[in-house]
Amino acid sequence: MTSAPVSRTRHRLRVRTERATDAGLLGRLPAPTGALAWVRDGSGLVGWGEAARFEVSGPDRFAAADRWWREFTATLEVEDGLGVPGSGPVAFVSLAFADRPGRSVLVVPEVVAGVRNGQAWLTTVGDGRSTEVRPVRRPRTVRYSDGELSVPAYREAVRAAVARMRAGGPAKVVLAHDLLAVADEPIDHRFVLEGLARRYPECWVYAVDGLIGATPELLLRRSGRVVDSRVLAGTTWPHDGVPDDDLAAALLSSAKDREEHEYAVASLTGALRPFCASLSVEGPSVLRLPNVSHLSSDVIGTLTGTPSLLALGAALHPTAAVGGTPRADALAVIEELEGMDRGRYAGPVGWIDANGDGELGVALRCAQVEGATARLFAGCGLVAESDPDSEVREAHAKLRPFREALEGM
Ligand SMILES: C=C(O[C@@H]1C=C(C(=O)O)C=C[C@H]1O)C(=O)O
């Protein structure tokens, strides 16, 4: 199902980008909800207000979103003195993980603040109405309860998936579970975003239509003809008293983790190569975060043509980092054994501009926030050698960033 574009104005919208001083990004978000963000270590984009929105669901969601964005941007009157990726018209994007169910969203803010390579700008769409600035609030209490898939049910699903793989099923399957958090009052998106950004400067901190998180994984960035991606798969986490260097060395030499990683890199490069004149992979190395460490590979390519970022995303998603290998078999096992609606968790999240450039991360380490409730997600890649108890602990470690940000730890 494709919904009609919703635009709040009938006449030609005017978009204007001007240079600005770098006054920070997340700290400028004026309101507790409706935050739009894609920020890594002080650079990126934040937006607020809503000039237009497009919602879509189904297997055609990437193409429908791409089409809507082209048609929408063609109607705009743009004045952009900067001409860098992210200046001019921008839409924040968050696409559903699965073909069904799931709702994908594009939001065009009324105001965008951007910082790139030390250069700052402000973009206004329409009259860019000023919004009343409200103080950031922290929750006083947070209570947790089971989501659609409890921890015991998740352990059982992992056990069943591993049995399938040992019996000749898919080589890799990624299974996730959820956790509900309820605060004593509506959650202030900015409080969570700032907590995530403070603890995870290596991650892309994002917010689109209530999906809030800090992801270390980049599905794809397009800047003109250059594309790059950061593929993660294979994880360890702090174990009692084991020095970090020893954990990293064990991860690098773990055959199980390298196998998981190899599937993820192969799925990304296999889907991207047909679009590229050149493509190279660097890795794996170990990416260390406060809660977990991952095997990480950086992929960089040069495009032969000019497919938009959304068109490329359609070919890449879901990689074996969040789906599995072979893709269709793994998705069937996920649907059967996980059985929950992932919503936009593990889908592409980020932003696009009018030239088809932008950044799409993999929506990990996140929650869907609605009022006082947050639905947190975490998953793990499984291969035939995976151990259910260990995967439950890994998922627990991956839930930590959002929990700690929400609790203000
Ligand atoms: C699925 C998640 O993470 C993915 C799975 C990983 C793994 O299994 O080692 C590592 C990074 C991500 O690609 C998640 O964080 O929910």
Task: Say if residue 314's pLDDT is above 80.
Answer: yes
Residue 266 covered by a domain: yes
Residue 1 covered by a domain: no
Q: What is the pLDDT of residues 179-199, one digit of tens each?
A: 999 999 999 999 999 999 999
Q: Which amino acid is at 355?
A: N
Q: Is 310 in the pocket of ligand 1 (CB under 6 A)?
A: no
Q: Which amino acid is at 125?
A: V
Q: Which amino acid is at 305?
A: G
Categorize the per-residue pLDDT at 31 as very low, low, confident or very high, splitting at 50, 70 and 90.
very high
Active site (annotated) includes residue 256: no
Mean pLDDT over 206-212 rounds to 99
Active site (annotated) includes residue 398: no
Of the listed 110, 217, 338, 359, which one is catalytic?
A: 217
Find where tokens 């992801």 sit: 215
| Full-model pTM | 0.96
Indicate which atom in ligand 1 lies nearest the CA of residue 382: 8
Find where tokens 């497919």 sit: 307
Report the candidate in 325, 349, 330, 348 with the shortest Cα–Cα distance to residue 266. 325
Cα of 49 from ligand 1 centre, angstroms: 32
Which residues are CB-contacts of 333 (< 8 A; sequence separation ≥ 6)?
161, 164, 169, 170, 173, 324
Residue 394 covered by a domain: yes
DSSP secondary structure code for residue 385 in this structure: T
Cα–Cα–Cα angle for 298, 107, 89, rounded to 5 degrees: 75
Structural domain including 301 reads 6-132+139-407
Q: How many domains does the chain have?
A: 1
Q: Is 324 in the pocket of ligand 1 (CB under 6 A)?
A: no
Q: In what order do the strands lie in the sheet with 348-353?
A: 6-7, 52-56, 104-108, 90-94, 348-353, 358-362, 218-223, 226-236, 293-303, 276-288
Residue 219 covered by a domain: yes
Cα of 235 from ligand 1 centre, angstroms: 7
* Mean pLDDT for the chain overall: 96
Query: Is 371 or 241 the better-scoring residue by pLDDT?
Result: 371
Q: What is the pLDDT of residues 52-63, one digit of tens each?
A: 999 999 999 999
ipTM over 0.90: yes
Categorize the per-residue pLDDT at 4 as very low, low, confident or very high, splitting at 50, 70 and 90.
very low
Residue 108 sits in a domain whose CATH number is: 3.60.120.10
Q: What is the pLDDT of residues 321-378, one digit of tens each?
A: 999 999 999 999 999 999 999 999 999 999 999 999 999 999 999 999 999 999 999 9
Q: Is 380 in the pocket of ligand 1 (CB under 6 A)?
A: yes
Q: Is 312 in the pocket of ligand 1 (CB under 6 A)?
A: no
Q: Which amino acid is at 330?
A: A
